[in-house]
Structure 1
Amino acid sequence: MAYKDFRDFLHTLEKEGQLLTISDEVKPEPDIAAANRALNNLGDKTPALFFNNIYGYTDARIAMNVMGSWPNHALMMGMPKNTPLKEQFFEFARRYEQFPVPVQREETAPFHEVEITEDINLFDILPLFRLNQGDGGFYLDKAILISRDLDDPDTYGKQNVGLYRMQVKGKNRLGIQPVPQHDIAIHIRQAEERGENLKVAIALGCEPVITTAASTPLLYDQSEYEMAGAIQGEPYRVVKAKDADLDLPWGAEVILEGEVLAGVREYEGPFGEFTGHYSGGRAMPVIQINRVYHRKQPIFEHLYIGMPWTETDYMIGVNTSVPLFQQLKDAFPNEIVAVNAMYTHGLVAIISTKTRYGGFAKAVGMRALTTPHGLGYCKLVIVVDEDVDPFNLPQVMWALSTKLHPKHDAVIVPGLSVLPLDPGSDPAGMTHKMILDATTPVAPDIRGHYSQPLDSPLGVADWEKKLSQMLR
């Protein structure tokens, strides 16, 4: 099911009726972002957008909303586009357990068609525009950045492939925001402690499987390339960079090679973030670009970010939920049923679990707060019973309405870390977190009156399967 490259996936979207081509002339601002915002307002089955007639450019082509719906997410996994979300979750979890799948190395890649090493001007190479009116400049907002751990360069999993926003600061300069909880911040710190620049590479227009892996909260020593292989069911193809010991996504449209300048900081931002708020301006590291490769007539991919839901919520929904699910199952292998951490990148997480004894669900919530992703996110954890589907919000609201006692079941933990982009953090990067226990009390907790739960009619499961097949 692996896609050859970014263009191969776009072709699949078109064949499946999930790519809408806009041939009318559009202005970079505000038309492209406005069209994407409007599309996101129309539901969770919308297509990708492909703009091929952009005012001010002769041959620029821009793809948007590539992963911006559950049908497109299913197609990324090689599944039928009408696969229900819960099935996508459990299939992703099954493939996650196949990690690692070693990479397949290639000597050359399609992006080697054009190479630029002198007089680099990103404004000429890329069609740049602002996504939101208050953005402080042009951003590469769906850019994969590759860097390597300097203390342990031989451990393959410590080569980081991450998705970060980068502001265009000049013809060959970018600003980057390294959130402290993310791996790139560790690599920058290592380099600056040595007084060295950090070699990096940036890939634009990639197959969605590596974009998915790059936005998955893996453990520090888990390789995103080897996870991409697990997700697609066969080795992921990479090719070596020329200026550094880094692996590049073979199917990318554009590659930028450069280095993070040690000790250099420039103001970056504001930027309309996934929280639905502008992040403000802060002094951030700077990347100098030294080499560019790209395919002839490259397709530039952008990611509209704004008030949820947008493409970013579909792109990082299932792949945020599954690592939390697996890490909680490591701690509670017989109890955890499912995890839904799709809301604002897991700032809210809903966990379905069996309950062994009174107070058990609160312990599950505490463990979620201490997972690698939970440390920077998971501000509100809702724990529900095993028979409550965490992906079915009416069921979750029913559990909150009938099972939660505010006096006993709301646990607030003060002074924990959260990503600084959370607009509710005070100071930035610090917050109180809360666990809501919406499970049925069990001994020795004997509160409430839960001895007469309503049973479903016999045969519901069989009819659910039959009707689902008919509706497809």
Structure 2
Amino acid sequence: MTIEDTAEFIKALEDAGELKRIKTQVDADLEIAEILRRTMYANGPAILFENVKNYDMPVLANAFGSMKRLQIGLDMSDFTEIGQRIVDMTKMEIPSGILNKLKKLPELSKMGEIFPKLEKSGPVTEVIDESPSFGKIPILKTWHKDAGRFITLGLVATKHPETGIRNLGVYRMQIVDDKHALMHWQKHKRGAHHHDISKEKGERIEVAIIIGGDPATVFSAIAPVPEGLDKYLFAGITRQKGIKTVKCKTIDLEVPANAEIILEGYVDPNDIREEGPFGDHTGYYTPREPYPTFTLTGMMRRQKPVYLTTIVGKPILEDAYIGKVIEQSFLPLIRMFQPEVVDFAMPAAGWFQGMAIISIKKRYPGQAKKVMMGLWGLGQLALTKIFVVVDDDINVHSMDDVIWAITTRSDPARDTIIINNTPTDTLDPASPLVNLGSKLGIDATQKTKEEGFEREIQEKVEVDETTKKLVDSRWSSYGI
């Protein structure tokens, strides 16, 4: 069943025993974050804080903090379905005049069902706030040395100033006062690209911040989709049903009708202020840096909205599970560009952007390096610092397997490559310069003579089938 909004998600989580309600009064200043950290590190439930000091709005967090919760929210158990749907769409022959032919062609009519649908009103338009203020929302302060309160799970909506393609991204926002916040959209992100285009034109860019909504739309905002794919369409692909949208009141943007809160405004390229520090998902405080200012011009909300948020810090916290879904859902797309790839993993301890492990069906010498180069040129993978490539007999999700492959199938001088002066994640605390550093590639596949391996390849130790079948058949009798 497709979940349509935050209220339905809360009910589904509660019915599955995945949600805890806390009625004790709690403070949005540090206390809620510490409760959440202890809960997340202990693999605890989603939490709905119903009594937040100085606010009449409940706070929902850790809603995506397990694979089970994500399966409930996205209504699927195999997340590779998402990427496969995109791959299938790329293979579909689209005739000219598609909009006029949708009803005539069954396959395209079905495709049309995933497009967003503009409505005159929706749940999020129940209250049009005449005096919008960040102060009305229980925005959390997470760490004691944070520069202030931060919106951490707001879906930042922009549209490309030239093509009109819509984007949703999750960029943290530091609250300055009731009307201003700092927009931490990093240089490599699509929202920042839209901002730069507007800046070149001498214009400010209109922005909407979406709080809450259906889980598929929240996931879509976080997911690094292929360039040029409208995020509202991607949400429809994910949930196999188009989202409903409504027009903002003070800016020319459409937003999900089933959201909890919409914060309308603009980002002025000429209003730059120091943002940070902020305790980030690397496990370090990111230092103060200049970022542009968001000015709040309007606010729409439900009668009784829920503030959906998350916290970050040293892994593994809630964002790790969303990252695992991204990892699985984009495997079919990776295979589309690199067909030899068997599996793909980005360990949560490496904050995902830090390391990726790829298994391949190796057919020729140098193939592991070919895969590395291809993936470093693919979207957000350009920011991944370390690639490890292994053979298809290695489980990329087992670090024991991966370390075994690195130590038995790679020689540091022969199988390690370092590339200098490459793009890095803005949050990387180790890069010598912000946004610029190096890449490490480790070829942990079995080497051939063509790759300079002159020794005889040693035989891998494995159980013979006769003994395996014997023990399988008698296992219950051993009493183990």
Query: Per the alignment, do residues 120 and 236 of structure 1 end up closer, same or farther by CA in structure 2, a change over 3 Å counting?
Result: closer
What fraction of aligned residue pairs are identical, expressed as a percent?
26
1:360-394 Cα distance to aligned partner (Å, 9 max, x none): 1111112121111122x210001111121212222
Query: Per the alignment, do residues 280 and 29 of structure 1 end up closer, same or farther by CA in structure 2, a change over 3 Å counting?
Result: same
Tell me which of 122, 140, 143 is aligned to 2:134: 122
Distance 1:77 1:257 in 2: 27
Matches within 5 A, 1:286-325: 286-320=293-327, 322-323=329-330, 325=331
Instruction: Confirm whether residue 97 of structure 1 aligns to residue 102 of structure 2.
Output: no
Are the aligned partners of 2:261 and 2:301 in contact in 1 as well (CA < 8 Å)? Answer: yes
Matches within 5 A, 1:66-465: 66-79=63-76, 88-97=78-87, 101-117=114-130, 119-123=131-135, 125-153=136-164, 158-320=165-327, 322-323=329-330, 325-333=331-339, 335-343=340-348, 344-375=351-382, 377-445=383-451, 446-447=453-454, 449-455=456-462, 458=465
Further displaced range: 450-459 or 261-270: 450-459
Distance 2:118 2:465 in 1: 54
Distance 2:444 2:456 in 1: 14
Distance 1:246 1:457 in 2: 64
Are the aligned partners of 1:135 and 1:271 in contact in 2 as well (CA < 8 Å)? Answer: yes
Structure 2: 5+ residue stretches without partners: 90-110, 473-480
Amino acid at match of 2:26: V
Structure 1: 5+ residue stretches without partners: 465-472
Q: Give the TM-score normalised by the residue count of structure 1.
A: 0.89
Are the aligned partners of 2:83 and 2:333 in contact in 1 as well (CA < 8 Å)? Answer: no
Query: Per the alignment, do residues 293 and 357 of structure 1 end up closer, same or farther by CA in structure 2, a change over 3 Å counting?
Result: same
Are the aligned partners of 1:350 and 1:390 in contact in 2 as well (CA < 8 Å)? Answer: yes
Match of 1:469 in 2: none
Match of 2:52 in 1: 54
Query: Per the alignment, do residues 93 and 391 of structure 1 end up closer, same or farther by CA in structure 2, a change over 3 Å counting?
Result: farther
Distance 2:280 2:163 in 1: 33
SS at match of 1:170: coil
1:255-275 Cα distance to aligned partner (Å, 9 max, x none): 011111231111111111111
Distance 1:226 1:442 in 2: 45
Amino acid at match of 1:49: I
Distance 1:7 1:404 in 2: 51
1:196-251 Cα distance to aligned partner (Å, 9 max, x none): 12111110112221111111111221111111112112222222223333221222
**How far off its partner does 1:458 sit?**
4.8
Distance 1:448 1:370 in 2: 34
Q: Give the TM-score normalised by the residue count of structure 2.
A: 0.87
Distance 1:96 1:260 in 2: 32
1:298-329 Cα distance to aligned partner (Å, 9 max, x none): 11111110011111121233214543x34542
How many residues align structurally?
444
Query: Per the alignment, do residues 369 and 56 of structure 1 end up closer, same or farther by CA in structure 2, a change over 3 Å counting?
Result: same
Distance 1:310 1:263 in 2: 35
Amino acid at match of 1:104: K
Measured on the aligned residues, the alpha-carbon RMSD in Å equals 2.2
SS at match of 1:36: helix
Match of 1:40 in 2: 40
Structure 1 runs of 4+ with >4 Å offset: 456-461
